[in-house]
Amino acid sequence: MTWSQRLLAVDGVAQPSTPTLCDAYKVYRLKTLMPRIHHISEQLPLTLFQHALVQMQQALRRFKRCVHSRIRPPHAYVNRPHTLNAFQTFRHERVQEAHQRVLQCLFYIVHALGDTAMSSRAYLKRLTHDERAMLSGTYSERTMFSALALALRFHLRDVDMPSEALVTRAVVLKSAYHALVAVVCARSSACVLPPYTDMVAIARDFDAAWVDFEAMLWEEAHVSQYGGRLPEQHDNTDMFQVLLMETALRAVQHGLLALAAVEAADPVAILAVPRLAIVCGLVHMPECVQLSHTTLGFRWFKRFAREMEGIRASLAGMRPAALRALELKCAGVDDSVIRAGGVSADVFAGLGADADPRACAMCGNIYLAASDDGSETEFASCGGGSSTPETAAAWLHFQSSDEYRAQVAADWPSICDQFRSICALADDLQAGKRAREFSALIGRVFRSFEDSLDAE
């Protein structure tokens, strides 16, 4: 659903005595505000603003005509259900596009005035990466539209019950916006050349009103959607990189991945490490980074918090053999090898002399018992597998036991279900809009892993 559709439904059922969606925008008399419109130049922000404002007023008049008159919509909309509403939505989206260009030009003008006009935007650090990307480097049309709507007491779906303080700040921002537009229009008609120091005062007031409203808007939207206030710091990408690094180290130590595959950034390892990182983050290292929390969770998985919590609960109830089989499956080992109690050929070749046949068949650990002369030369069993293997060789001995194969066979359907759920979340990182950022992140992980091995 687009941002324009959020209020279009409200506008359609509004009583005649209440404001309509058209009333959220002010129709300026351009010939009065700007008696002279200069030729457009990319080096002069005031000329960009003039032409952007003209386009916005044209789009706004077309929108008002289609709302207040019963004209027949274009042929492209005739066969669609709710024809007039669809045409209104189309026209309103054109208004919003033009409005965004006007706000972007205003941002260029205010930004050119320097720190004397720009207020601090420290609250952006508490937002997610996608939200910061949308709000940084511009005056967001979404924020401005929210202010215009709240000033008319419209209902916003992202903010169930806006506070009176938020509505007051919306009215202040609306007034500051119209005042800034009037001053910029007068200045651009007189002279479009910099410097723009004569507009510092009005620009400072507008930017301060913008920051106050935007910070409170996202605070209340976060409370409405997630039931809690914004955390002090949302971006924990560095800790997720640490989790990937620790996952790669653990995979090599426990015989899930071959050392050569990780050093060479093999495609199998690139696919396996994110999958294994979800298992590690939910079971082995939950203190590293939150993966299943609705508000404090890592930004890439926050909208999948419910799915993550279901995976965490399932993994917590798994027996050690089933969890080990799931990790092997995430590492790309064939199903037949997993169910037979083996590991990949590359991992087995790297075990070498570490594979001690005298290890306990239940848990894989080697327990030394004191002999009569006091030297630790005898080997004893753990007596029930109460501890967890810590080396690749110990894991191999554990997988060779009948107990391991029996547990894997019994839990195999659950293992496959959890594997599909994990892959749906982990593999999505390498596609879509997150692919570029994740590729850079996983590249740093493998490079730092290789550097740490060289240092050792």
Share of the chain above pLDDT 90, in %: 23
Q: Which one has a higher pLDDT value, 161 or 188?
A: 188
Looking at residues 315-324, what average pLDDT do you find? 87
The pLDDT of residue 53 is 92
pLDDT band at 69; cut points 50, 70, 90: low
Q: Are 116 and 158 in contact (CB under 8 A)?
A: no
Among the listed ranges 28-37, 322-331, 418-427, which one has the minimum average pLDDT value?
28-37
Q: Model's pTM, two decimal places? A: 0.51
Ranking 48-62, 65-79, 352-366, 380-394 by mean pLDDT, the lowest is 352-366
Q: How confident is the model over 76-88, as a mean pLDDT?
A: 55
What is the torsion angle, in degrees rounded to the nearest 10, for the CA atoms of residue 427, residue 428, residue 429 and residue 435? 110
pLDDT band at 235, cuts 50/70/90?
A: low
3-state helix, strand, coil in the chain (%, to 5): 65, 0, 30
pLDDT band at residue 347, thresholds of 50, 70 and 90? low
CA distances from 364 to 197, 309, 381, 382, 394 (A): 75, 31, 9, 9, 4
Average pLDDT, the chain: 77
Between residues 432 and 51, the one the model is more confident about: 51
Tell me which of 199-203, 239-243, 274-278 is least confident: 239-243
221 pLDDT higher than 60:
yes
Lowest average pLDDT, out of 66-70, 179-183, 303-307, 311-315, goes to 66-70
Task: Determine the pLDDT at residue 168.
Answer: 94
Q: Contacts by 150-158 with C-beta closer than 8 Å and gap 24+?
A: 151/24, 152/19, 152/23, 152/24, 153/19, 154/7, 154/10, 154/19, 154/24, 155/10, 156/6, 156/7, 157/6, 158/6, 158/221, 158/224, 158/225
